[in-house]
Structure 1
C-alpha cells in the first residue's frame, strides 16, 4: 500500500519534535510494509523527515519510494543530493510535467501533489499550513474517499482534516481513532493502517452502493436534520423533500424520482407524520419498492405514535426518544449494512 505524505512545519510547533514524530511515522510505515510517496525534498516538509525515518529501516523488495517533483534545475539538484542517501532498489524519481514560467512554481508543485494523490492508497497528514496547498489536498483526498490518517496534535491542515472526518474515523476504529491525538502513540496509529485499508475498501463499496431518502413531516424536521448530518458526514448520498406542496396532490415527480433512486428509505414516524397525506404517499411508494425490488425501510418512531399503514405494521420499527438513541440506532444499522446483516 502506498502512503502519500502531506504536511510541514508551522510557526506554532517545535521543529525538533516535528522532525522526530515525522521520522517515527516513516519508520513505522516501513515496518508495516508500506511504500512511500513524497513530493518535497526540503527539510521544512513532513516528506523529508518521514523519508529519513523510512530509509532507516530494512526495506523489502516489494516496497517502493516514489518522489514526484517539478523539473527545474535547482529542484533536480536537490533531489539528486537526497537520492545519494537512499539505498533502496525500488526508488522512482518522477519529474512532473509542469510550467516553466516564472512565478508558476506553486502551481507546478500542486500538480505534482495532485499526481501523487492519484497514485496513493492512503494519505498521512501532519502539520501543514491552514491556507496552503495541504488543506486543499486533504479536502480533495477526503472527497475521493482516500484513507486519510491526520495527526492533529501539531495543528495546521492535519488538525482541520481530523475535525472534518473524525466521525468516519470513529466509525471505522471506535475509540482507537483517539490514538491519532497522542504524539506518543504514532507507532500504534500507523499499525492501524493495515486493518483500516481493508475496512476502507469495504466501506467505500458500501457508501457507493447505498443511497438514502429521508421522509419526514415538515412540522417536525429536527430528527431528519440530524439523520442527514450523520449520513453526509459519512459521505452517503442523501435525498429528502425540502419543498412544500398541498395535501391531496400526487408526489412531485422529483421526489418520486429520488425515492426510486434510493435503496434505503428512512421515515421519522410521529403524530405529525401520521396526519400528513404526502408523507403517506412517500411511505406507500417505499412499500411498493420494498415489495418489488427489496428497498429497505427504516422507521424511527420518535414519539410513540401507533403505526397506522397496514402494510407497514409488519416492518421492524425503532423506538426513539432521545438524540442518543437516534445516534446509536442509526449507527448500528449503518454498521449492519457494512457487515451484510439485515
Structure 2
C-alpha cells in the first residue's frame, strides 16, 4: 500500500482488536512506529470504484479511557492525515430495545463528567453535570441512516454476515440458558443510527440499574449506550483544520446494569466477540458500498486554483462580540446593518481558515449572525459556542445545527453552569462567565457595536488589559466605538490607518487587519525592537521541513540560525549544550504542533526559553503549525502566529522582519 491513509480505525482493547482483525483478515499487517510506542495495522478495503481501494490504519490502543484515546488519535491524525476517523468496538446498552449483538451509531457524544462540579458540605452535597458534547459527522451519519435503502445489496450482505456470526458464536445451549435466566432476545442484529440517540462517554463502567437511571435522568434522557473512549477521539479530531470526519460504530455487548454480569456468566464473552465483529463487519460493508467516499463540495464554486485575493488567517481563534447599540442616527436600520456586517465577517473568517468563537446562539446578537455567515461560506472550519448549559440554550444550538450544518463544519459546545435563579440578574452573570471563558481562548477579538453599559464593554476592557489584538469596528458606535476612540493606535499599531474601522466596508478586510495586528504584537516582543542577529529554531523532528523552510528565510535575511540538534557534542550533557545555544540567541522561534507537544526535548527547549524570556534575556516567537492547543500555561500568554504551511510560515517571517 502507499503511505496515504484514508481511514484511521481506533480500537481500545486487545480483546476488541482480536475480533476486528479476524474480520479484516490477514492482509492487515502490523508495523511498530519508530516515533511512538504504538503498533499500527495497515491494510486496504476495496471501494465501489474498480482500482480505488481505501487505505486503512487500525490502532489497538491497549487501554481504556478518553485521555488515552485523545492522545493516541491526536498523534496519528498528525502523522497520517486521514479523511475519516472511526471508533470501532463495544458498548453497554441503556435502552431495553437495543440488545447484545446490535450495532449503534450515535447522533452525538456526551462526555458527561467533563466540567462537572461538586456543591455542598459534609454529607449534604450534589454533583452538577456540565459535560462536553460532540457530533458525529453529519454526512457519514446520514449515509448510515439510509444504508438499507441506498446500498441495499451491501446492507443485506452485512445482515447475512451478522446471522453467520451469531450462529457460530451463540450456541443453542447459550440461547436456552439466556431464556432460563430471563434474558430472552430477538436474536437478529439491528442497526441503530442517529435518531437523536446519544452515546455517553466517560471514565465509569456501568454495572448497576441506579447508575443507568442517573445517566438517563440527570445527564441526558436520550443516552442509549455508554463506553469510555469516543469523546477523546472526537475531541482530538476537532482541533484539526480541516477536521477529519468522525463516526463511532459500537457493537452492543451487554446492558449497562446488573444484566451485564448475568450475560457474561451465561455467554462467557461470546456477545463481546459478536458485537465487535458485527461492528467491524458493518464498517467493511460500508466502505465497499461507498459510504466513506469524500466529495469536494467546493468544486462547483471553484475554478480549480486558489483565489488570488485569498488571505489565510494568522490567528487561530477569533472571538466575535457585539450587538445593537441604539446610538445610530437611523435606529430602524441599525439591526439590519449589524446582521449584514456580522454575516460578512463570519464568512471572511471561515474562508481564511480561522476558528470562530461566539457565545449566544440567539438571533438577537452579532454572535448568531457571524456564525451564520461562517457556516454559509461552506468552507468547513470550527465554530465554538460558549454558553450556559440550559435547555433553552441547547434548543437554539440544535436549531442552528439543523439549519446551517455542513458536512465539513464542526460545531463545538463549551458548557458552563446555569444560574440558580431564573431571573435576569442571574442570567447576566451566567452569560458573563461563558464570555470570560471564551475570551481566554481567543487570539483576536472582533467587536461590532454592543451596548456600552453591558458585558461587551467589560470584555473589551479585559481584552485590552491582556494585550490581545482588538478590532473594534466603530461605525455602529457602542462599546466597539468607545474602544476605538480610547485606543492609542499610533503607539499600539504604528503604520496602521485605524480610520478604516469607521467604515462598514472594513468588515470585508477583517482578516487582513487581524493579521496586521497579530504581527504587530509579535514585533513588540523583538529584543530591543531591532532585527534579531541570531535565532534558535525549536522544532520537532516530524516538522523538520517547516524548520528548514524557516531557516532558509532567516538566512536569506542575514540572520544566523541555530538548531539544537546541530549543537550537540559528545563531551557535554545535552541540557547544558542547549542552554548555551539558547543564551547566545536573540530570539527563539518555537514551531508548536501536536508533534512538538509529544517531544520531551522540545519541551525542555521551550521551558528554558520561557525562563530566559521571563528574565528579559531573550524573546520568543511562537508559530502554531496545526492550530492545536498550546499546552504550557506560561506559553499560552505569548502571542502566537498560525502558520499552516511552509509558504505561510515564510510569508509571516518576511512580514515580521520587514
- Tell me which interval the TM-score lies in, with the shorter structure as reference length: 0.5 to 0.7
Please tell me whether residue 134 in structure 1 is matched to residue 456 in structure 2: yes
Q: Is the contact between residue 98 and residue 111 of structure 1 (CA under 8 Å) also seen in structure 2?
A: no
Q: Describe the SS at the equivalent of 1:93.
A: strand
Q: Describe the SS at the equivalent of 2:452.
A: coil
Query: Which residue of 1 is the match for residue 376 of structure 2?
Result: 56
1:204 Cα deviation after fit:
5.2
Query: How far apart are the structure 2 equivalents of 1:207 and 1:55?
Result: 43
Q: Render the CA deviation track for 1:83-111: whole Å, top value 9, x for unaligned.
A: 21222442211111343333311100000
Query: How far apart are the structure 1 equivalents of 2:432 and 2:340?
Result: 26
Query: Which residue of 2 is the match for residue 92 of structure 1?
Result: 412
Q: Render the CA deviation track for 1:87-138: whole Å, top value 9, x for unaligned.
A: 2442211111343333311100000000000001000001000100000110
Say which is worse superposed, 9-18 or 41-50, in terms of deviation.
Answer: 9-18
Instruction: From 511, 533, 536, give the equivalent of 1:190.
Output: 511
Instruction: From 403, 411, 435, give the equivalent of 1:113.
Output: 435
Q: Describe the SS at the equivalent of 2:386.
A: strand
Q: Is the contact between residue 28 and residue 191 of structure 1 (CA under 8 Å) also seen in structure 2?
A: no
1:205 Cα deviation after fit:
6.5
Instruction: From 512, 521, 530, give the equivalent of 1:200.
Output: 521
Change (3 A) 1:65 1:198: same
Query: How far apart are the structure 2 equivalents of 1:29 and 1:204?
Result: 26
1:22 Cα deviation after fit:
1.1
Considering fraction of residues, name the structure with more strand.
Answer: 2
Query: How far apart are the structure 2 equivalents of 1:72 and 1:99?
Result: 9
Consecutive aligned runs of 4 or more in structure 1 exceeding 4 Å deviation: 204-208
Change (3 A) 1:139 1:205: farther
Q: Describe the SS at the equivalent of 1:154.
A: coil
Change (3 A) 1:171 1:147: closer
Instruction: From 170, 176, 201, give the equivalent of 2:497.
Output: 176
Query: Which residue of 1 is the match for residue 191 of structure 2?
Result: none
Query: Which residue of 1 is the match for residue 297 of structure 2?
Result: none
Instruction: From 23, 26, 29, give the equivalent of 2:349.
Output: 29
Please tell me whether residue 41 in structure 1 is matched to residue 361 in structure 2: yes
Q: Is the contact between residue 489 and residue 498 of structure 2 (CA under 8 Å) also seen in structure 1?
A: no
1:34 Cα deviation after fit:
1.0
Q: Describe the SS at the equivalent of 1:116.
A: helix
- RMSD (Å), alpha carbons: 2.7
Change (3 A) 1:142 1:193: same
**TM-score, normalized by length of structure 2?**
0.30
Whichever of the two has the greater Rg, that structure is: 2
Change (3 A) 1:177 1:157: same
Please tell me whether residue 76 in structure 1 is matched to residue 391 in structure 2: no
Q: Render the CA deviation track for 1:287-338: whole Å, top value 9, x for unaligned.
A: xxxxxx99xxxxxxxxxxxxxxxxxxxxxxxxxxxxxxxxxxxxxxxxxxxx
Alignment of structure 1 residues 245-256 onto 2, 5 Å:
none
Q: Describe the SS at the equivalent of 1:43.
A: coil
Q: Render the CA deviation track for 1:130-182: whole Å, top value 9, x for unaligned.
A: 100000110001000111100011000000111122425x6425243221111
Change (3 A) 1:158 1:193: same
Q: Is the contact between residue 450 and residue 479 of structure 2 (CA under 8 Å) also seen in structure 1?
A: yes
Paired residues, number: 210
Query: How far apart are the structure 1 equivalents of 2:409 and 2:507?
Result: 27
1:42 Cα deviation after fit:
1.5
Q: Describe the SS at the equivalent of 2:487.
A: helix
Q: Is the contact between residue 348 and residue 510 of structure 2 (CA under 8 Å) also seen in structure 1?
A: no
Query: How far apart are the structure 1 equivalents of 2:391 and 2:494?
Result: 44
Q: Render the CA deviation track for 1:37-69: whole Å, top value 9, x for unaligned.
A: 000111221101111111111324xx3110011
Q: Describe the SS at the equivalent of 1:138.
A: helix
Q: Is the contact between residue 436 and residue 459 of structure 2 (CA under 8 Å) also seen in structure 1?
A: yes
Query: Which residue of 1 is the match for residue 307 of structure 2?
Result: none
Query: How far apart are the structure 2 equivalents of 1:86 and 1:206?
Result: 46
Query: Which residue of 1 is the match for residue 336 of structure 2?
Result: 16
**TM-score, normalized by length of structure 1?**
0.56
Alignment of structure 1 residues 293-304 onto 2, 5 Å:
none
Q: Describe the SS at the equivalent of 2:325.
A: coil
Where does structure 1 lack aligned partners over 5 or more consecutive residues?
A: 209-292, 295-338
Q: Is the contact between residue 64 and residue 92 of structure 1 (CA under 8 Å) also seen in structure 2?
A: yes
Q: Is the contact between residue 343 and residue 372 of structure 2 (CA under 8 Å) also seen in structure 1?
A: yes
Query: How far apart are the structure 2 equivalents of 1:9 and 1:134?
Result: 11
Alignment of structure 1 residues 231-310 onto 2, 5 Å:
none
Where does structure 2 lack aligned partners over 5 or more consecutive residues?
A: 1-315, 329-333, 530-615, 618-655
Change (3 A) 1:182 1:95: same
Change (3 A) 1:206 1:44: farther
Q: Is the contact between residue 180 and residue 189 of structure 1 (CA under 8 Å) also seen in structure 2?
A: no
Query: How far apart are the structure 2 equivalents of 1:178 and 1:207?
Result: 29
Query: Which residue of 1 is the match for residue 317 of structure 2?
Result: 2
